[in-house]
């Protein structure tokens, strides 16, 4: 069946519609999609005029405000051909634009990365600062997370630089340097209150994931284990290293165990080693992600916090569990 193209002259417009219309709009499969617009909860500035202009240009249904001045949603029957042009315009206004299938929008499982996703730091970088090799390790981390370096090799190199570090430093870093990403507790509490399962899967270390998982309410966590002898880090981790494939394996293992489909999962991450699970999950979210990672994901959150994952599932702010 051939795609049909038409000019949308008959769609009602407002002064802002020139931002959102192209000469041609592709009419493809009439699968219902949900459009969510959201902005920073710290500086909410989502304008009703913007929401209405986009809804009118794309022939969407009535707008539902999920949070005043912060998030709104509407449904439409077809995916617009100028989706990414409009996304770029919205980014310039400090607004995230997300389009997902309406069916199965609310997920039954959360699969989350930890570093720079559920927490605001990279744990290995914080340990490296304590060991006096912070700048060198941070450079390797940045390149690995952007996909420029092999994750396993980069991890071994960075852990090797921690050799001799007092094991007690881990507790100090947890207490003094690690902070949670805003919105994480509400995300976990709300999804779990609605029957979802939550798993934390990290290329970092169990010494951190255990603590973070307990604090935020994850049902389980998986990560690499730092080896120590005589109270000092040896510069090694246990094999096999948990990297990109291990996160996909976790998705497969946990969904099979729980009797869920992969479409039932919302996964969130920021680095290249997250791409496997982000591609496989029913909804893969690139959160404040490295450019090379965001480019491969349809759901990109650059301005919202972790509560954005609730908005894109259709939860209103008054449904959040805090």
Task: Tell me the DSSP string of 181-196.
Answer: PTTHHHHHHHHHHTT-
Which tokens hold the place of 259? 């009797």
**Kind and range of the H or E run holding 235:** strand 232-237
Residues designated catalytic: 113, 115
Provide the 3-class DSSP secondary structure of residue 197: strand
Task: Tell me the DSSP string of 107-176.
Answer: -SEEEE--TTTTBSS-HHHHHHHHHT-HHHHHHHHHHHHTTSS-HHHHHHHHHHTTTT-BTTHHHHHHHH
Alpha carbon 120 to its chain's center: 13
Omega before 224 within 30 of 0, i.e. cis: no
Which tokens hold the place of 68? 């005043």
Contact between residue 184 and residue 115 where contact means Cβ atoms under 8 Å apart? no
Q: How many Cα neighbours within 13 Å face the side chain of 7?
A: 2
């Amino acid at each position: 069946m051939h795609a049909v193209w038409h000019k949308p002259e008959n769609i009602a417009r407002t002064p802002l519609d020139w931002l959102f219309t192209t000469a041609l709009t592709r009419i493809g499969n009439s699968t219902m999609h949900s459009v969510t617009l959201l902005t920073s909860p710290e500086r909410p500035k989502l304008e009703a005029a913007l929401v209405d202009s986009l809804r009118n240009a794309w022939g969407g249904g009535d707008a539902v405000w999920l949070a005043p001045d912060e998030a709104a949603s509407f449904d439409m029957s077809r995916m617009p051909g100028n989706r990414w042009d409009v996304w770029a315009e919205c980014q310039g206004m400090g607004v995230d634009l997300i389009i997902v299938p309406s069916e199965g929008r609310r997920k039954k499982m959360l699969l989350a990365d930890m570093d720079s996703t559920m927490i605001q730091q990279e744990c290995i970088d914080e340990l490296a600062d304590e060991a006096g090799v912070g700048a060198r390790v941070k450079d390797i981390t940045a390149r690995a997370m952007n996909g420029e370096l092999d994750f396993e090799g980069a991890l071994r190199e960075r852990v090797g630089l921690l050799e001799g570090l007092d094991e007690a430093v881990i507790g100090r870093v947890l207490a003094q340097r690690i902070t949670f990403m805003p919105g994480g507790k509400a995300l976990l509490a709300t999804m779990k209150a609605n029957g979802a399962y939550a798993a934390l899967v990290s290329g970092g270390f169990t010494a951190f994931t255990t603590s973070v998982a307990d604090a935020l309410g994850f049902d389980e966590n998986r990560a690499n284990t730092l080896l120590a002898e005589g109270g000092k880090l040896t510069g090694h981790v246990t094999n096999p290293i948990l990297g990109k494939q291990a996160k996909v394996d976790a998705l497969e293992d946990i969904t099979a165990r729980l009797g869920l489909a992969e479409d039932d999962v919302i996964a969130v991450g920021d680095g290249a080693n997250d791409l496997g699970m982000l591609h496989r999950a029913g909804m893969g979210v690139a959160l404040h992600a490295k450019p090379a990672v965001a480019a491969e994901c349809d759901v990109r959150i650059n301005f919202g916090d972790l509560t954005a994952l609730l908005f894109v599932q259709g939860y209103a702010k008054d449904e959040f569990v805090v």
